[in-house]
Amino acid sequence: MPVAPGAPAPRGPEDVPGTARRPRVMVLFGGRSGEHPISCATAGGVLRALDRTRYDVLAVGITREGRWVLAEDDPDRWAIVDGRLPEVTDTARQVLLPQSTDERAVRVLEPGRVPRELGTVDVVLPLLHGPFGEDGTLQGLLELADVRYVGAGVLASAVGMDKHMMKTVLAGHGLPVGAFRVLLPAVLRRDPAAAEQAVKELGLPVFVKPARAGSSLGISRVDTLEELPAAVAEAVRHDPKVVVEAAVVGREIECGVLGGRGGATPRTSLPGEVVVTGGGHTFYDFRAKYLDEGNVRLDCPADLPPAVTERVREVAAAAFEAVGCEGLARVDVFVTPEDEVVVNEINTMPGFTPFSMYPRMWQATGVTYPELVDELLALALERPTGLR
């Protein structure tokens, strides 16, 4: 059944009843990770969808060097066009968050000018993917400033980013996860044969992944032991900790999760399915996701028996709560030929362009892209600040 987007977003607690001030939203994107351009593309979609009659919008980009700068509030500027990946460049207009919990103003520093205030920001929409944005670091910074934000908190973000910790937490809550081994940095340094031992325990084929990266960066499918050293080296380029996963025979199914209002049960979308149809892709890798969409089909809703659809949604909601997520998440699972549901991973800030799977699944469930953005802001504005 369609999931209602909910009531209009409440205004921030600083608003005076009877005034017409709209909540101020900082759309924050870019960042230091390899997923920088995907974050920019996500921001483009959100900037286009935000209802400017209901929200004041402030676009802030983070360069690859970590500088926060005023960015163009132009959706087309941040789109992926003809394979060109968007990038935040230094505009020399540096943005500063509030420096204490008793002030709310965001400031901008420009060369040769006196710092000026940009006004109060009621909520941050942190559209960053990967390390230094999706992993709890940015969330901790916002918590220090007592600034509300969309999405998971510090711990849930960190757990969701680290495939090792994520699988450990999910398994600890009784959720089904595939067999895996972890290659810690110190182990890889002193015992180069550790990766081969992990494969021997799991069997071929395996997937070798950086523990803390997204958008399928650094992931390799390994069908022979001869391919293993190169796969580990590629994973280590993105993260010194490596996860080796046994291949699971089954269909790749995804499910969107949306937090419940006032602590209510999380809501789930109809599941979707990623089908790689060609282009030489052996799995849903970075190029298939963002640069070769002609060889990928996204089916929403997925063609599954009703009982399996319900099981996928139950598992997705349980994974969301096990990790301690807030706001949104996309849960990726495998459905085996025996109709078992095995959790692959949870993504606490999934791709959010209008063509990404997360909003497309909600569209199939009855929630439009603008309604989805609005609901996420409503969830963030109702959450308390300070220790939670």
pLDDT at 19: 46
DSSP string, 98-123: -SSTT--EEEEE-TTS--EEEEE--E
Do 383 and 143 touch, CB atoms closer than 8 A?
Answer: no
Under 8 Å CB-to-CB from 51, ≥6 apart: which residues? 370, 374
pLDDT at 355: 82
Domains held by the chain: number: 3
CA 38 to chain centre: 10
Examine the domain organization and report whether 90 and 102 are in the same domain.
Answer: yes
Q: Does residue 205 have a cis peptide bond before it, meaning omega lies within 30 degrees of 0?
A: yes
Q: Is residue 361 part of a domain?
A: no
Examine the domain organization and report whether 185 and 220 are in the same domain.
Answer: yes
172: domain CATH number is 3.30.470.20
Structural domain that includes position 89: 1-150+366-388
pLDDT at 14: 44
Examine the domain organization and report whether 23 and 50 are in the same domain.
Answer: yes
CA distances from 236 to 110, 178, 210 (A): 38, 22, 6
Examine the domain organization and report whether 229 and 98 are in the same domain.
Answer: no
Examine the domain organization and report whether 99 and 204 are in the same domain.
Answer: no
Q: Is residue 217 part of a domain?
A: yes
pLDDT at 329: 98
Q: Is residue 137 part of a domain?
A: yes
Q: Is residue 358 part of a domain?
A: no
Q: Is residue 377 part of a domain?
A: yes
Examine the domain organization and report whether 375 and 279 are in the same domain.
Answer: no
Per-residue pLDDT of the chain (388 residues; tens, 9 = 90+): 444 444 444 434 444 344 468 999 999 999 998 889 999 999 999 999 999 999 999 999 999 999 999 999 999 999 888 888 999 999 999 999 888 888 888 999 999 899 899 989 999 999 999 889 999 999 999 999 899 999 999 999 999 999 999 999 999 999 999 999 999 999 988 998 899 999 999 999 999 999 998 667 899 999 999 999 999 999 999 999 999 999 999 999 999 999 999 889 999 999 999 887 755 545 444 444 544 456 678 899 999 999 999 999 999 999 999 999 999 999 999 999 999 999 999 999 998 888 889 999 999 999 999 999 999 999 999 988 765 5
Q: Is residue 333 part of a domain?
A: yes
Examine the domain organization and report whether 140 and 224 are in the same domain.
Answer: no
Examine the domain organization and report whether 169 and 314 are in the same domain.
Answer: yes
Q: Is residue 353 part of a domain?
A: no
Examine the domain organization and report whether 236 and 263 are in the same domain.
Answer: no
In the sheet where 180-183 sits, what is the strand order? 180-183, 242-246, 206-210, 220-222
206: domain CATH number is 3.30.1490.20
Tell me which of 215, 246, 277 is where a domain ends: 246
pLDDT at 20: 61
Examine the domain organization and report whether 165 and 310 are in the same domain.
Answer: yes
Q: What 8-state DSSP symbol labels residue 310?
A: H
Examine the domain organization and report whether 172 and 288 are in the same domain.
Answer: yes
Q: Does residue 210 have a cis peptide bond before it, meaning omega lies within 30 degrees of 0?
A: no
* CA pair distance 79, 60, nearest whole angstrom: 16
Spatial CA neighbour of 319 closest among 365, 370, 255, 369 = 255
Note the residue count of the chain. Answer: 388
Under 8 Å CB-to-CB from 384, ≥6 apart: which residues? none
pLDDT at 84: 87
Examine the domain organization and report whether 120 and 219 are in the same domain.
Answer: no
Q: Is residue 206 part of a domain?
A: yes
